[in-house]
Structure 1
Amino acid sequence: MKPLALLILICFTTTTTVKAQNKKKQDAAAIKNMCGCFEVTFNFAETFNYSEDSLYKPSQTKVDKGLEWAQLVEDDKNKISIQHLLQVGPANNPYIVKHWRQDWLFENTEFYMFNGDNTWNFITKPKAEVKGQWTQKVYQVDDSPRYEGSGTWVHVDGKNYWENTTDAPLPRREYTKRSDYNVTTRGNRHEITRTGWVHDQDNSKVIREAGKADVILAKEKGYNTYVKVADSKCKAAADWWTENQDKWALVRNKWDAVYNRNTNLSLEEKVDNKPLYKFLFDDENYSTSEKINPVIESFVK
């Protein structure tokens, strides 16, 4: 290769690498903007139904409000982890509820994809398919899997957002009331705004049966707004996390060991007639790895 051609190639490669590094930093900054104290409004409404049952009743429109603390748990080169905590009740004596967790992994190639009936299929994707992308892995309140998907953060025209469509279990507001579908196909859009961020969803309620094509029962719109407020408003939740973070690190460590088996995962809904979160929320009896690890393992089929 001629010296001039080599110099041009080096300059091009260097410029491309710098741009990719700057883009990754911009992505990470957007993700970490989801941390802090927020006044949250959860909005869900069924929009269309395709049922052939004349007696079909759509889900009621649901609007809830709350105060949520989003705690940065991990901030590494290729991983950002955020734990959400609900703070409910009177300001002078609030009650803290461990809520969902979201992990963001850069150029991740390993996935647990929900397939209905409390089962997640382990799949891998080629590196080229996820180049420059971030995977959002969402976990239940007990740190068991919920859903995950990969996409590219977009920063254009003053907008900063990430989009993905993936299958998920029924949300808590539905699975205690509905048994006529078993998969939620979630169209997720996370957008950072001037006042906080928005979780915008276009979801399908899906009937999935082995050997048959999926049937869409209905569609749903979700629009959850997170308005940033002073961190001091969530002091009780932040303090709760400081006191309890060591225990939940043990829970995550056990789940990581399960996920690292890299095989399809099927979980029991209940053991001894109790869901997993009821065991793990019992701090008196489940606060050490000697107690936590066996109970989690008992839910793995």
Structure 2
Amino acid sequence: MPAPASDTVADTAAFEADRKAILGMLGEYRVQFDFRETVILAPAYERKPDQHSGGNEVVILVEDSGDRIVLQHLLVSRDGHVTKHWRQDWQYQAGERFEFSDEQTWRLRAVPAERIAGSWTQCVFEVSDAPRYCGTGRWNHRYGVSTWTSDRGWRPLPRREYSKREDYNALNVENRHTVVPGGWTHEQDNTKTVRTADGMRTLVREFGFNDYRRTDAVDFGPAYRYWEATRGYWARVRAEWNRRLAAGGVRLDTAVDGMPVIEATFRQADRVARGESVSDGEIAAIFDRYVQVLPPEDARLGRR
């Protein structure tokens, strides 16, 4: 496993502790997802009911090249059905990241210079490997607990609200990951916001708490078998996304929840899992239909 040159690592001991924390999120878990609206910010707004769900999830290592770590989440239902879930990419001292800038639009943007040294940028991707959001921050290992806290950034509506809400169009979010005994947690400080050409209006704050508890009581064999069968396909899908994002940014030409891309890629992955072949041209056809590449002069934004 290659490691960054010593002169590019802000603190070698901290770097290794950071890597250990990120890799500590690998494994098999029972997960509880809880979201609660808290502080009302808009006149006459009424809190929506709390949202609770859960599942069985395994986190698999896709890539570890030293200063870059990629983790893939897979859900397994009680009957053994596997659903490819979200992906998290961690990059040490990243110089740029994508940001959710407008409806169905993500643009590459430089990370502010003062935030780069010693930081890790986490980018989160949709089940189809479409972009969702990135955050940059440093790990804190004091008191024997490892916690990473992001800067604030933008993300689209979560899937749990795509089909239910039309009163806001973006979340302003700070994320916190903590590796704890028996698992890890993901806390979200969310502000539900209406963004328009004329400005922004905030509705309500929301606290999200995702609790990953290790388990040996679930058979995750179907997830491992699915990933072994389809990982080559999904690597090609990631490469197609990366190629188009690297041009400066992308805009999706789909319904707000991106289901056409999800359904198309999942159908192809199912074919691959059955032993059929899917050509690069078939993958590219999905992107040609639904993913618009933004030109660099339109997409690349300067440091904030």
**TM class by shorter-chain length?**
0.7 to 0.9
State yes or no: 1:156 paired with 2:142. Answer: yes
Contact 2:155 2:171 in 1 (8 A): yes
1:274 CA displacement:
5.4
1:32 CA displacement:
0.6
1:270 CA displacement:
4.1
State yes or no: 1:183 paired with 2:152. Answer: no
Q: Which residue is equivalent to 1:41? A: 32
For residues 208-227 of structure 1, the aligned pairs below 5 Å read 208-212=195-199, 214-227=200-213
State yes or no: 1:144 paired with 2:130. Answer: yes
State yes or no: 1:195 paired with 2:182. Answer: yes
Q: Which residue is equivalent to 1:117? A: 103
Q: Which residue is equivalent to 1:166? A: 153
* Residue type of the alignment partner of 2:239: N
* Counterpart pick for 1:63 among 52, 65, 68: 52
For residues 13-24 of structure 1, the aligned pairs below 5 Å read 20-24=11-15
State yes or no: 1:30 paired with 2:21. Answer: yes
* Residue type of the alignment partner of 2:16: K
C-alpha separation in 1, matches of 2:112 and 2:190: 27
Q: 1:290 to 1:46 in 2, by over 3 A?
A: same
1:19 CA displacement:
7.9
1:103 CA displacement:
0.2
C-alpha separation in 2, matches of 1:256 and 1:17: 24
* Counterpart pick for 1:254 among 240, 251, 257: 240
Contact 1:101 1:141 in 2 (8 A): yes
Larger Rg: 1
1:89 CA displacement:
2.4
State yes or no: 1:134 paired with 2:125. Answer: no
1:288 CA displacement:
2.6
- Gaps in structure 1 of 5+ consecutive residues: 1-14
Q: 3-state SS of the aligned residue for 1:100?
A: strand
* Percent of paired sites with the same residue: 34
* Counterpart pick for 1:275 among 247, 260, 267: 260
* Residue type of the alignment partner of 1:269: T
Q: Which residue is equivalent to 1:298? A: 289
Deviations 1:232-257 (A, max 9, x none): 73221111111111110110111111
Following TM superposition, where does structure 1 have runs of at least 4 consecutive aligned residues deviating by more than 4 angstroms?
15-19
- Gaps in structure 2 of 5+ consecutive residues: 1-5, 293-304
For residues 52-131 of structure 1, the aligned pairs below 5 Å read 52-53=43-44, 56-90=45-79, 94-125=80-111, 127-131=113-117
Give aligned pairs, total.
Answer: 279
1:98 CA displacement:
0.5
Q: Which residue is equivalent to 2:300? A: none
CA RMSD of aligned residues (A): 2.3
Contact 1:204 1:217 in 2 (8 A): yes
Deviations 1:8-46 (A, max 9, x none): xxxxxxx99998112111101100111110000001111
Q: Which residue is equivalent to 2:42? A: 51
Q: 3-state SS of the aligned residue for 1:45?
A: strand
C-alpha separation in 2, matches of 1:127 and 1:231: 46
C-alpha separation in 1, matches of 2:38 and 2:173: 14
Deviations 1:180-227 (A, max 9, x none): 100011121000000100001111001101132x21111111111000
C-alpha separation in 2, matches of 1:106 and 1:96: 31
C-alpha separation in 2, matches of 1:251 and 1:215: 36
* Residue type of the alignment partner of 1:118: Q
Deviations 1:71-126 (A, max 9, x none): 10000021000000010123xxx100000000000000111111231112321135
1:230 CA displacement:
2.8
Q: 3-state SS of the aligned residue for 1:198?
A: strand
* Residue type of the alignment partner of 1:142: S
* Residue type of the alignment partner of 1:73: V
Contact 1:181 1:205 in 2 (8 A): yes
Contact 1:250 1:288 in 2 (8 A): no
Query: What is the TM-score with the length of structure 1 in the denominator?
Result: 0.87
C-alpha separation in 1, matches of 2:42 and 2:70: 39
1:59 CA displacement:
2.5
C-alpha separation in 2, matches of 1:190 and 1:119: 26
